[in-house]
Amino acid sequence: MTEHGSGDLRLSSVTKSFERFTAVDDISLTIPQGSFFALLGPSGCGKTTTLRMVAGLEQPTVGTIHIGDADITSLKPYQRNVNTVFQSYALFPHLNIIDNVAFGLRQRKDGDWKRKAQEALDLVELGHTAKKKPTQLSGGMQQRVALARALVNRPDVLLLDEPLGALDLKLRRQMQLELKRIQSEVGLTFIHVTHDQEEAMTMADTIAVMNGGRIEQLADPSTLYEKPASTFVANFLGQSNLLPAEVSAEVASVESGVVTVRTRDHDDIAVAAEHLPPGIRSVWVGVRPEKLRIGEAGRNRLRGVVTDASFTGVATQYLVRLPWGKELVVVQQNDGSGRLPVGENVTVSWDPGQEFILDQAQDADAGVEIDDD
């Protein structure tokens, strides 16, 4: 086994500049063969440009792209063994479904195109539509045809450009599972571009969170969620409570792997020493809303007043205002413990180790207001 697997996709210091702005700013990535990889970020973060460079539809300004040992940087799209499922599907309207699916095979003079195309259609459960025209199919069906048309060529890398964006929520969930099933069945490398964090977390083995043309963090979904590397990631993936705190010399006691930090209210909070980045004294202590408990069950306790309670079905989301004005989001499972009225004085608690810690120099609101759709 060499350093890189035979079919790994490698982007090395890739930059793409357009006339007025830099869409992709010096990113390096290795995507292992056979993995389901997601590029996640708000619109304009450079994820689609990255995808188009892998497809060959854009040329990097700087940097190289390899598949295995082959340098594909300057190859034209039709010379690359990479296929794309376009956001708008881009099915050929003048060809029927089977001819759409067989387009790539026939282009490569595959004598067995008829059988392979039919098999690919069967894989997406649309074998019966072979003779129809794209306009006769629903959006979800067209999406699956576009997938079959790309899959059938057995590309080294399959690119999905927000392929589920145009589908309604229910169909989208269904297609997410479908895509995941197909990917594990065919074992190809999938690169999925999306702005939907839930979609990325559901489907991908590894996610690169992009912002402003750069990769903010590259990790598996649970690491991204539990240990975000920046405030942008913390806010873009789910909700986060970020509390400013100081690691002052007198309170920094290392005791059984726990360090104490002091909040603005002079409350002492114990955090896991391993979470504390070395050499930083002003920090954000981040706690996810579902890690917080109403009551004194946890070791870290903060007092506050309930200012809002909204019932969401499986859970209730509370806003709890701390004495210095900061509002914490607390999500409690509806396990029958009863709901708290607005105005109630409560204690919010959690245990050390459930937090993540970021440098306070970062903007606490990064990635907050960017909502999907």
Partner 1 sequence: MSWLRRHTVQVIGLLVMAYILLPNLVVLAFSFNKPNGRLNITWQEFSFDAWLNPCDTPGICSSVGLSLKIGIIASLTATVLGTLVAFALGRHRFRGRAGTNVLIFMPMATPEVVMGSSLLTLFIALGVGTGQTTILIAHIMFCLSFVVVTVKARIASLDPRLEEAAADLYASPAQAFRRVTLPLVAPGIAAGALLAFSLSFDDYIITNFNASPSSVTFPMYIWGAAQRGVPVQVNVIGSVLFLAAVAFVGIGQLLAAGRQRARA
Q: Which helix (H) or strand (E) holds 25?
A: strand 22-31
According to the binding rule CB under 8 A, does residue 298 interact with partner 1?
no
According to the binding rule CB under 8 A, does residue 133 interact with partner 1?
yes
Among 108, 115, 128, 339, the residue binding partner 1 under the rule CB under 8 A is 108
According to the binding rule CB under 8 A, does residue 114 interact with partner 1?
no
Of the two residues 153 and 332, which places its CB atom closer to partner 1 in the complex? 153
According to the binding rule CB under 8 A, does residue 90 interact with partner 1?
yes
CB atoms within 10 A of CB 239: 13
Provide CB contacts within 8 A for 274, sequence distance 6+: 257
Task: Tell me the CB-side half-sphere exposure of residue 166, using CA atoms within 13 A.
Answer: 15
Distance of closest approach, residue 149 Cβ to partner 1, in angstroms: 7
According to the binding rule CB under 8 A, does residue 132 interact with partner 1?
yes
Of the two residues 82 and 328, which places its CB atom closer to partner 1 in the complex? 82
According to the binding rule CB under 8 A, does residue 82 interact with partner 1?
yes
According to the binding rule CB under 8 A, does residue 77 interact with partner 1?
yes
Of the two residues 118 and 202, which places its CB atom closer to partner 1 in the complex? 118
According to the binding rule CB under 8 A, does residue 134 interact with partner 1?
no
Task: Lay out the site mask for partner 1 across 24-63 (x = CB under 8 A, - = otherwise).
Answer: -------------------------------xxx------
345 class by beta-carbon count within 10 Å (0-12 exposed, 13-18 middle, 19+ buried) = exposed
According to the binding rule CB under 8 A, does residue 78 interact with partner 1?
yes
Among 3, 93, 336, 373, the residue binding partner 1 under the rule CB under 8 A is 93
Q: Where are the alpha helices (DSSP H) in the chain?
A: 47-55, 97-107, 113-123, 139-151, 169-186, 197-203, 221-226, 231-236
According to the binding rule CB under 8 A, does residue 20 interact with partner 1?
no
Question: Could you tell me the CA-to-CA distances from 244 to 136, 284, 315 in Å, in that order?
Answer: 57, 5, 27
The order of strands in the sheet holding 345-350 is 293-294, 345-350, 300-311, 315-321, 327-333
Q: Which amino acid is at 324?
A: W
Backbone φ, ψ for residue 348 (5° rounding)? -110, 135
- Which residues contact partner 1 by CB under 8 A? 55-57, 76-78, 82-84, 86, 88, 90-94, 103-104, 107-108, 132-133, 136, 149-150, 153
